[in-house]
Structure 1
Amino acid sequence: MDAAPLLALLLAAVSLSAAAAGDGAHPGYSDEGTCTVDAAGAGVGSGPELRRLEERRPGRIIDITHAYVPDLLAFAPGAVTGPLVHLKESMANGSEYNLSELRLECHMGTHVDAPGHMNQGHFAAGLDVDTLDLDVLNGPALLVDVPRDTNITAEAMEFLNIPRGVRRVLFRTLNTDRKLMWRKGGDMSYVGFTEDGAQWLVDNTDIKLVGIDSLSVAAFEHLISAHVVFFKTPDIIPVEGLKLDNIETGIYMLHCLPLRLVGAEGAPTRCILIK
């Protein structure tokens, strides 16, 4: 775990975050068909009286992973993800067991990018998701609010004033207020890093994990160029598609564990915060 001085730096950074996110709660997932637990964590069922799995143990574990539902947001406008889980064998249809098959692209939902995503040299060198540093993906993290009238530009990064020594930052943006991750089909007006914002982060901070509340860490107008800046070296890990609704800014223990997809440049990831 990182040393105590880092936590002191993180504490100093909290007061420097921008204006808080909007108060409106996200619409959430449909109650129908959602696996839930009761208040004691014992029973399984569905309905508004039961708490969802991602909301259990409030105040301790916060699940910031989007559920992989059939109408999961796709990046391209009008794109349809379709059923992600297909029941190949069904006891209801006479089989002796139930067996599901999972089909999805590696950059859907909450996921990580590996260095080879937009750097052919890194891809050829085998820098896939299975080589990502778990020490970077797990540890103290700072959740900040980005000013709501801007992409994450060099000016916005300078305003946030994230001190040296902070290695993991989750950037909450207007995307959360607009509930973009809850919509069907891509919206190219999402907030992300511009090329100069990415370069400012690389040149002026020690951040190695960049978390964001959209399917791409880079703004659409800088989709390639901002990624290229981040992936010049294999040290920075973007974590995209985070669910950051209704969480206070501040310091948390972050845990992200991508699937070990050997040879893949991205992977679905379960991410949680512990306060």
Structure 2
Amino acid sequence: MEVQWSSILICTVYIVFILGFSSSSSLASPIEAYPSYGGECKIVPPKKEVFGNGRIIDITHKMRSDLPNFGSTESVGQLLQLAVSMKNGSLYNVSELKLRVHTGTHVDAPGHFYENYFDACFDIDALDLDVLNGPALLVDVPRNMNITAEAMKSLHIPRGVRRVLFRTLNTDRFLMWKKFDSSYVGFTEDGAQWLKDHTDIQMVGTDYLSVASFDDLVTAHRVFLKSRNIILVEALKLDDIDAGLYTVHCLPLRLVGSEGSPLRCILMP
């Protein structure tokens, strides 16, 4: 693709790349490596879930305005707005992002359900990235139940497996494309305790906004987070992927003092 150096702008949230300006401040087409701002565009950039001929699978939900909002009948609403706009005379665009840190695909720190851990700065910036990156097992949970101790036993996850992604009925029901539904599948307290007592799992990934079932919301979270050795990744996009062994890479933002963070997660076969 021929690149005109008159004034090319590629923007992501809070990041602006300006390759050149002319006195006219005209905007050229975006280059392929940097899809344009996600508004109404005449030029439609490619939207992919799989990259590199299947070498990289994106398991992160897009940050959409219609994402479910935990505990609410309303969706999350508008997340982005232009704080600085070329349409208003600026030489560049800068978007502003406003969202709760547990929106969409995200990770929990121990301070999410423990006030003493929150005060002691066991925050997102203190999470062990080694736990969030490495070999991972994607398993299908029996579709007729929450993730109970019985369900955990039936999965026969061997010792030594440190990272497990649990695909449930939530994926089949497309719950991340609907308003919040408290009937989602999650861990019960006894299921969380069984995992903690009988496996070596340190990263728990699930396919809805909460790793814990609605009825066990507090108790299951507290079982997982008490030891500070288990990291919870929630609202993963696990449709159209075969169960099995992968390499997972999840990277949260370095939000000092925060008990949660959005993150980008990928699988590599």
Structure 1 length as normaliser, TM-score? 0.81
In the other structure, the counterpart of 1:109 is: 104
The offset of 1:213, in angstroms, is 0.2
Question: 2:216 matched to 1:222?
Answer: yes
The offset of 1:54, in angstroms, is 2.8
CA RMSD of aligned residues (A): 1.7
Question: 2:74 matched to 1:79?
Answer: yes
Asked whether the 8 Å contact 1:77–1:188 carries over to 2, the reply is no
Which one-letter code corresponds to 1:98 in the other structure?
N
In the other structure, the counterpart of 1:5 is: none
Which one-letter code corresponds to 2:109 in the other structure?
A
Match of 1:66 among 61, 66, 74: 61
Asked whether the 8 Å contact 1:122–1:234 carries over to 2, the reply is no
| SS across alignment from 1:224 | helix
Percent identity of paired positions between Structure 1 and Structure 2: 62
The offset of 1:119, in angstroms, is 1.1
The offset of 1:124, in angstroms, is 1.8
Match of 2:228 among 221, 224, 234: 234
Asked whether the 8 Å contact 2:65–2:75 carries over to 1, the reply is no
Please, which runs of 5 or more residues in structure 2 have no aligned partner? Answer: 1-31
Change (3 A) 1:181 1:58: farther
Structure 1: 4+ residue segments shifted above 2 A: 41-47, 53-58
- Distance (Å, rounded) in 2 between the aligned partners of 1:230 and 1:44: 38
Question: 2:189 matched to 1:181?
Answer: no
The offset of 1:43, in angstroms, is 9.0
Question: 2:126 matched to 1:131?
Answer: yes
The offset of 1:50, in angstroms, is 7.0
In the other structure, the counterpart of 1:17 is: none
**After superposition, what is the alpha-carbon deviation per residue over 1:141-182, rounded to whole angstroms, capped at 9, x for unaligned?**
000000000000000000001011000000000000000011
**After superposition, what is the alpha-carbon deviation per residue over 1:180-235, rounded to whole angstroms, capped at 9, x for unaligned?**
0111x210000000000000000000000000000000000100110011111100
- Distance (Å, rounded) in 2 between the aligned partners of 1:265 and 1:161: 31
- Distance (Å, rounded) in 2 between the aligned partners of 1:42 and 1:97: 19
**After superposition, what is the alpha-carbon deviation per residue over 1:82-113, rounded to whole angstroms, capped at 9, x for unaligned?**
21011011112222211110000000000000
| SS across alignment from 1:130 | helix
Structure with greater helix share of residues? 1
- Distance (Å, rounded) in 2 between the aligned partners of 1:96 and 1:225: 52
- Distance (Å, rounded) in 1 between the aligned partners of 2:52 and 2:173: 27
Asked whether the 8 Å contact 2:35–2:46 carries over to 1, the reply is no
Asked whether the 8 Å contact 2:171–2:239 carries over to 1, the reply is yes
Q: Which has the bigger relative contact order, CA under 8 A and spacing at least 6?
A: 1
In the other structure, the counterpart of 1:98 is: 93
Which one-letter code corresponds to 2:60 in the other structure?
T
Please, which runs of 5 or more residues in structure 1 have no aligned partner? Answer: 1-40
